[in-house]
Amino acid sequence: MTAQWQINPVDNAMQEKILNNINQKTKPLGALGQLETLALQIALIQKTNKLVITRPLMLVFAGDHGIADEGVSIAPSAVTQQMVLNFLAGGAAINCFCRSNDLPLKVIDAGIKFEIIPPPANLINQRIAAGTHNFSQQAAMTLAQAEQALQFGAQLAEREINNGSNLLAFGEMGIANSSSAAAILAALSNAPIANCVGLGTGINPEQLVKKITLVTKAVARITDKTPLNVIAEVGGFEIAQICGAMLATAKAGKMIVVDGFIVSAAALLAVQFNPKARDYMIFAHQSEEAGHQLMLSMLKAKPLLNLGLRLGEGTGAALVLPLIRAAISFYNDMATFESAGVTV
C-alpha cells in the first residue's frame, strides 16, 4: 500500500450514539431495515448530526478489452464506441435513470478501441491506449499503464470532490469487460473459475465454455496476486480508473456508490489496496451475473436492491440514489418519540 492510498477508517466509537438516535425515531426498533443500516453508515462517514448529499455525480468509465477478439461477447468492440456516443447523446438506460433521479452524468474514455474524433466537449479524455491486450495471450497492460489508470481515476475523483461532490457513483461500459471482472474475481478469490465466469450480456453455451477456458488460462499465469499486478494481467482501463477513483473518494472521506459486477470488481481491487476503503462503499444491487454474489460476500456487502439487473452502465447505482436520500431524510427529519409526544 503506497502512501497515496492511506485512508482513515470511519470512527466506530460514534456507532452507539448514532444507533441511539435511529432507535429513538417514531418506529419499532429495526423497522426501517436496511435503510437504518444505510443511515448508520452515512452518519459514520459524515461524522455529523445533519446528513447531507452535495453535488452527487455519476461517473461512467469506458474501455475496451483485447479478449473481445476471442468472441466471448455478443457484440464486437465497436459497440463500446457506439454506446459511448449513445451516453453522450442522452439515449441510454443510464441517462434515463440519472435524469429521473436528478443525478448529473459524466462519461470518461479510459481507453476505448475506436477513439471518437473529433472528441465531443462532454467526453472526458483519459485514454491509456486503444483497448487492452488480449489477456488470454499476454498481460492486459503494463504495470506502468495500470499505475497511470489508477492515477487518472484518482485525479478525476479529487477534482469532482474539490468541486463539491460528496457522493460519487460509478458505472462502466466495455465490450467483454465481464471477462476481465471474472478473471479479477478468480485471481483474488481462488474460487473455481466456473463460479466466477457468467453469461455477461447473454452469450451462448459454447461461448461460455470458451470464456471459462480463456479466463482459466489467464489466471493460471498470475503468480503475483497483488492488486496492481492483477490489474495489469487481466484488468481493464475502465476498471482500473474506477478503482483509483474509489480509493481517492475513500481517502477524502466521501460516499462511493458501487454498481454491479464490473464496478464491484474495481471495489474488490480497491479493498485489496486498502481494506479501509470498504467503509465508504454503498452497494447498490446484486447483479444477475454469475460471480457477483461471491464478490459481494468477499466484500461483506448486502446490496440495497435485487432487481435482476445485468446491464451495467451504473444503472443500479443510479436507482439507489432515492434510497440514499430517503435514509438521510428519516435520519435528519423523522420525529423522536419524545419530540412527537408518542409513548409506547
Q: What is the pLDDT of residues 215-225, one digit of tens each?
A: 999 999 999 99
Confidence of residue 4 (pLDDT cuts 50, 70, 90): confident
Cell, residue 150: 489508477
> 214 and 240 share a domain?
yes
Kindly state the average pLDDT of the residues 135-139: 98
Kindly state the average pLDDT of the residues 226-251: 98
> 20 and 97 share a domain?
no
In a domain, 2, yes or no: no
160 flagged as catalytic: no
**pLDDT number for residue 3:** 58
Active-site hit among 36, 172, 289, 313: 313
- pLDDT tens digit string along 111-125? 999 999 999 999 999
In a domain, 292, yes or no: yes
Lowest-confidence range among 21-25, 34-38, 337-341?
Answer: 337-341
pLDDT value at 280 more than 50: yes
pLDDT value at 2 more than 60: no
Tell me what the pLDDT averaged over the chain comes to: 96
d(CA 293, CA 301): 9
Confidence of residue 343 (pLDDT cuts 50, 70, 90): confident
Confidence of residue 290 (pLDDT cuts 50, 70, 90): confident
In a domain, 6, yes or no: no
> 162 and 225 share a domain?
yes
> 21 and 83 share a domain?
no
Kindly state the average pLDDT of the residues 27-38: 97
Domains in the chain: how many in total? 2
> 101 and 211 share a domain?
yes
> 187 and 251 share a domain?
yes
Structural domain including 33 reads: 11-51+328-340
> 17 and 159 share a domain?
no
> 106 and 255 share a domain?
yes
Q: HEC states along the chain?
A: CCHHHCCCCCCHHHHHHHHHHHHCECCCCCCCCHHHHHHHHHHHHHCCCCCCCCCCEEEEEEECCHHHHHCCCCCCCHHHHHHHHHHHHCCCHHHHHHHHCCCCEEEEEEECCCCCCCCCCCEEECCCCCCCCCCCCCCCCCHHHHHHHHHHHHHHHHHHHHCCCCEEEEEEECCCHHHHHHHHHHHHHCCCHHHHCCCCCCCCHHHHHHHHHHHHHHHHCCCCCCHHHHHHHHCCHHHHHHHHHHHHHHHCCCEEEECCHHHHHHHHHHHHHCHHHHHHEEECECCCCCCHHHHHHHCCCCCCECCCCCCCCCHHHHHCHHHHHHHHHHHHHCCEHHHHCCCC
> 335 and 234 share a domain?
no
Q: Could you tell me how far CA 226 lies from the centroid of its own chain?
A: 19
d(CA 92, CA 182): 25
> 174 and 294 share a domain?
yes
In a domain, 105, yes or no: yes
Kindly state the average pLDDT of the residues 324-332: 98
**pLDDT number for residue 43:** 98
- pLDDT tens digit string along 192-229? 999 999 999 899 999 999 999 999 999 999 999 999 99
CATH number at residue 132: 3.40.50.10210
In a domain, 107, yes or no: yes
> 85 and 153 share a domain?
yes
Report field, pTM of the whole predicted structure over 0.75: yes
**pLDDT number for residue 194:** 96
pLDDT value at 1 more than 60: no
pLDDT value at 13 more than 90: yes
> 176 and 27 share a domain?
no
CATH number at residue 335: 1.10.1610.10
**pLDDT number for residue 317:** 98
Kindly state the average pLDDT of the residues 237-250: 98
